Amino acid sequence: MRLFDSHCHIDFPQFDEDRAAMIGRMQETGLVGCVAVSVELEALPRLFRLAESEVNVWASVGIHPNHETRQEPTVDQLCELAQHSRCVAIGETGMDFFRHHVSPEVQEARFRTHIRAARELAKPVIVHMREADADTLRVLEEEGIAYVVAVACDTMVPAGAGRTIRADRLAAKVPGRGWQRMSCGPG
């Protein structure tokens, strides 16, 4: 079986000393590739350098819902950054009411900006959702999102008929094929 990790943060500085060995172990275990998911735009140069140097690592462009930033990105800025040849998705974005670093209103506006950039580029969205299920799903519905790569975090979402499912069971909405399961790590 070939596996692909759709959500990891191997670009984080705490992995600097072990990253090469980690990527080697990834290949040894049959993991054919991964997306190193962006959480802050300031770190994109580091993330892109990693994706350029490793054939099995791709990148995304986005700001985590609870990352404090001086200036919110525009759709045009996200689209420009996402033109990088190794960028395959927009995110990590979404809503997180577990931590309270960024107001819900700012998170929602940021989420909508990311969704609009993804739609303009026809790229999938990597969604972070934690204790914000109803609001996250409402925004996705209102924005008419077509592609969702991964829903990260341990949370519950409605599955219809009064049932709930774990968000790590949601993964990719593939046009013409519906939801497809993919890897989804903690956010």
End-to-end CA distance of the chain: 25
**Band (99; pLDDT cuts 50, 70, 90):** confident
Q: Which domains does the chain have, with CATH numbers?
A: 3-180 (3.20.20.140)
Nearest CA to 37 out of 20, 21, 61, 54 is that of: 61
**Pairing assessment for the beta strands 3-8 and 57-61 based on DSSP bridges:** unpaired
pLDDT, one tens digit per residue, over 3-33 is 888 889 999 999 999 999 999 999 898 889 9
Task: Indicate the pTM of the whole model.
Answer: 0.81
pLDDT at 76: 98
Task: Determine contact, residues 150/172, Cβ cutoff 8 Å.
Answer: yes
The CA angle 113-151-156, to the nearest 5 degrees, is 120
Mean pLDDT of the chain: 81
User: What 3-state class would DSSP assign to 115?
Assistant: helix
pLDDT, one tens digit per residue, over 166-177 is 444 343 444 444
The C-alpha atoms of residue 93 and residue 69 are separated, in whole angstroms, by: 13
Give phi and psi for 45, each to the nearest 5. -55, -45
**Band (53; pLDDT cuts 50, 70, 90):** very high
pLDDT at 168: 41
User: What 3-state class would DSSP assign to 26?
Assistant: helix
